[in-house]
Structure 1
Amino acid sequence: MAFMAVRIFKKVWYDAFLIPDSPLGPVELALLNLYDRREKRLANKYHSEYKPTPLPDNPTLTSEDVSIIVPTIDTEDTFTECLRLWLANKPKEIIVVTIPRDLARVQQLVQPIAQPDFDKIQVLTVPEANKRAQLIRGIQAATGTILSLVDDDVFWPHDMVLPYLLAPFEDKKVGACGGPQKAHLDDCRKDENVITPWEVAALRAFDGHGNHLVTRFKADGGVWCLVGRTIFVRAEILQNEAFYHDFANEVFMAGKALNTGDDVFITRWVQHVMGWALAIQDCPEATVTTTIKSDAGFAKQMLRWRRNLFLMILTHLFMDPGWFALRRKYPYMAKKMLGRLFRWLHNLYYLIFFLTTIKRYNLLGVLILAWWVFQKYRTYKSFVERYPYCRKHIWAAVLYDYSWIVLDFLALVTVDYDDWLTRNDAPNRG
């Protein structure tokens, strides 16, 4: 009975998907695997060669040269603690930009800050919720020579974040800098009976986040995106009418003006339009953390992040600077962007070659599948060793790793829809 069921399943499966009966399946699978292993070895080589910028003995820039700019709506309770941590780094000023609807809320969260730090904080407004308009308002008001664009839910864990992210600017060619980012999880939630599957997925999303950034940067100096949670930029690059106009009026595929995706635009503006070098400062001292969603709001975040990713890739490859210009200056980045855009095709080939193999060589196919499962087991075992309180919901980390199958499709077909999603950006009332 079981044997007949397997035969029926195989016949229906292979006939339905037209899987060819080819003797070359193992060869094709091996070649694809060899290519991926070569790429991984190359990435490991670049990663091992990277060295962060050390703190200068006599810096030409100090914390007093830095203006922190924070756009916010529906501001969370954690904002007060974020302010305290930013101020511990002794910036020149913090400019918070919100909307009239939320002004009283922001002022309430700022109020606990003691003097003299309280006087360093300005709270400004724009008429409607629009992250780009809010950033422009803050950039225009800033007086520092270095601008630090920071999300309102980001923690700087200690008072050395600013000095370390400032260090790369001692190189006069560097126009902007970013560092590693991790998920912030309160100690009370580091319990397998308390933590939610959404938080486990979020921890998985941030796990090893900086590795790809460092690898790509070391390969050819190119940076896909300085993620907007914390970006340092020279003020002269952004404080001009050309930037304000293009930033506020960017459209995608002749659609509506974009609201989010600000970090994508700023990275491209600094690197490709203005021709400045970018820097990645990957070290513990430069690491910032961000709050994560404990509910289904994380799914909306993932969708927004994925839209911004594809907006960036499509813009870089097909519009500005375009494939050929990108490949000439940043060949590794161009190759990896193209590979990311067509990841679904790469994985489809893997599936087809595997099914071709197991169709003709049953035992070999089973052994390959067992090897793949073992490798995945090692991956998630390592994750649980780093985050033991995720053990109970490890399935959420697995689902996150394969969520791209659905999210990539949704992001591509809705790439020009860029509302905030996780914040109430409805028009002001009253």
Structure 2
Amino acid sequence: MFSVAPLSYLSCFIGLFLYRYVRYVINLVAFSCFRPIPLPEKPSLTSDDVTVILPSLEGRGIELEHTIESILQNEPKELILVTIQANLELAQKTIAKMPASQHDRLRCLSVLNPNKRRQMARAIPEVNTKIIVFADDDVSWPRQTLKWMLAPFENEKYGGVVTCQRLRRKEYPIFSQKRIWSFLGALYLERRNFDCAATTFMDGGVPCMSGRTVAYRTKILRDKNFTYEFTNEAWWFGKYRLNADDDNFITRWMVSHGWKTYMQYHPECEVQTILEDNPKYLKQCVRWSRSNWRSNLTSMFTERHIWSGQPYSAYAVHLTTLSPPAFIGDGALIWLLWKAGQTWPEEQKHLAIYSLLVWMFISKFSKNLGHYIRYPSDTALLPVSIFFGWFHGLIKLYAMVTLDVTAWGSRAGADTNSDRMRIITESDRAEEHRLALLQYTQ
């Protein structure tokens, strides 16, 4: 009967352990060494050099009004709210609620159908400032956000700057359902801050320049080639039109065109956002996972600029897309170490297993340490985060087999014309023609 020597099990264990945890150790060191780019004494760019583009489906609501107010406190030259034609009047009424002195800094535009990429592209030709900031309609900014976002642009090599993010926390009973869903969302953003800061320090790579709040040089986005590619991205060998993943596309564009990017990880550049505090959070996780699959596979195997431009990010972020889910990886490590220790003294074998379990626990806890320091009571929910990490492996697998779905998932009415990737329609062509005319006449 075929058998495998304990030494072979040990070799497999060491290989898998190093693959999974070398990047973790490097990320810990990189995160601890990361520093934001400080504010210059005499900045060449000010808030008057910034236009904020704010895509919104509904064009109204308390959250949107709160977002606009927090952005205007940073005094950008202009804020352009872009909605769909059916909600244009509602968006104009929202703008009308703002103080009269701000009216000349606000205006509304629209597109025919819900499509965030086209909403963004509709506003870009209207911009007359050096910097464009995209923001979601459910974020809030600190008063110094723009100053910190502009600091890296003092270096002409930087083409994009993204903020760090925190969940806008609500108070719920600790073991209530809403508290648990909110806790999982907060940890997602915490891990994202950790990973982005680490890769930014290592090679300047940012896994995704999140559209929640991100700044770019206007000249990059005004390129007619960018506009066409951005609004006509195809996926799966060019078969399907991809309307989702706008922030992933621009992130890859920065890499492929030689622009440096930076994440400003600083309290004054920390936007707050909301995530679902109910089972719809799972739909958000599926959507994010699909985006990661599509974008990371494109980066690694289609465009391939990531390998030479940001090799550490390719290893630490993009390759993890192909890694086995956590529940498989954790189980494989424990099983391989147990099999490798069959010939060891019983005490030594158990010590090895216990040491591995402690190490796994530390690795799952440390990325979120900042959150637990801020909210010590959430340590009671630590087992929830570990079990959800294993469950997320199933979400990742489900996302892999449903990559043609591009619907928002957690927002009613969003992406009504793009639940699945589809072939271009005549209405798409009409919208493209209108965008092209705008681009060429500026």
Q: TM-score range by the shorter chain?
A: 0.7 to 0.9
Q: Offset at 1:332?
A: 1.1
C-alpha contact (below 8 Å) 2:325/2:396 kept by paired residues: no
- Look up the match of 1:279: 262
Normalising to structure 1: TM-score of the pair? 0.85
- Look up the match of 2:115: 130
Question: What SS does the corresponding residue of 2:42 show, helix, strand or coil?
Answer: coil
Q: How does 1:2-401 map to 2 (within 5 A)?
A: 22=6, 24-34=8-18, 36-74=20-58, 76-156=61-141, 158-186=142-170, 188-189=171-172, 193=176, 195-253=178-236, 254-272=238-256, 274-320=257-303, 322=304, 325-344=305-324, 348=328, 351-359=331-339, 360=342, 366-375=350-359, 380=365, 382=369, 384-390=372-378, 393-401=381-389
Question: What SS does the corresponding residue of 1:172 show, helix, strand or coil?
Answer: coil
Q: Offset at 1:377?
A: 5.4
- Look up the match of 2:431: none
Question: What SS does the corresponding residue of 1:122 show, helix, strand or coil?
Answer: strand
Aligned CA distance change for structure 1 residues 210 and 419 (closer, same or farther; 3 Å): same
How much identity, in percent, do the aligned residues show? 26
Moved more, 86-95 or 259-268: 259-268
- 2: distance between equivalents of 1:145 and 1:200? 38
- Look up the match of 2:425: none
Q: Does residue 403 of structure 1 match 2:391?
A: yes
- 2: distance between equivalents of 1:363 and 1:357? 14
- 1: distance between equivalents of 2:4 and 2:278? 43
- Look up the match of 1:5: none
- 1: distance between equivalents of 2:95 and 2:322? 46
Question: What SS does the corresponding residue of 2:324 show, helix, strand or coil?
Answer: helix
Size of the alignment, in residue pairs?
405
Q: Deviations over 1:74-94 (max 9, x none)?
A: 455311111110000000111
Aligned CA distance change for structure 1 residues 68 and 337 (closer, same or farther; 3 Å): same
Q: Deviations over 1:250-273 (max 9, x none)?
A: 01012321112001111112221x
- 2: distance between equivalents of 1:178 and 1:189? 30
Q: Offset at 1:115?
A: 2.2
Moved more, 27-36 or 247-256: 27-36
Aligned CA distance change for structure 1 residues 118 and 395 (closer, same or farther; 3 Å): farther
> Structure 1, unaligned stretches of length 5 or more?
1-14
- 1: distance between equivalents of 2:87 and 2:4? 61
- Look up the match of 2:439: none
Question: What SS does the corresponding residue of 2:82 show, helix, strand or coil?
Answer: strand
C-alpha contact (below 8 Å) 1:132/1:248 kept by paired residues: yes
C-alpha contact (below 8 Å) 1:19/1:356 kept by paired residues: no
Aligned CA distance change for structure 1 residues 128 and 372 (closer, same or farther; 3 Å): same
Please tell me the residue identity of whatever aligns with 1:225.
C
Aligned CA distance change for structure 1 residues 334 and 380 (closer, same or farther; 3 Å): closer
Normalising to structure 2: TM-score of the pair? 0.83
Question: What SS does the corresponding residue of 2:71 show, helix, strand or coil?
Answer: helix
C-alpha contact (below 8 Å) 1:177/1:232 kept by paired residues: yes
- Look up the match of 1:7: none
C-alpha contact (below 8 Å) 1:248/1:257 kept by paired residues: no
Tell me the C-alpha RMSD between the 2 structures.
Answer: 2.8
Moved more, 259-268 or 363-372: 363-372
- 2: distance between equivalents of 1:266 and 1:285? 24
Moved more, 60-69 or 207-216: 207-216
C-alpha contact (below 8 Å) 2:173/2:179 kept by paired residues: no
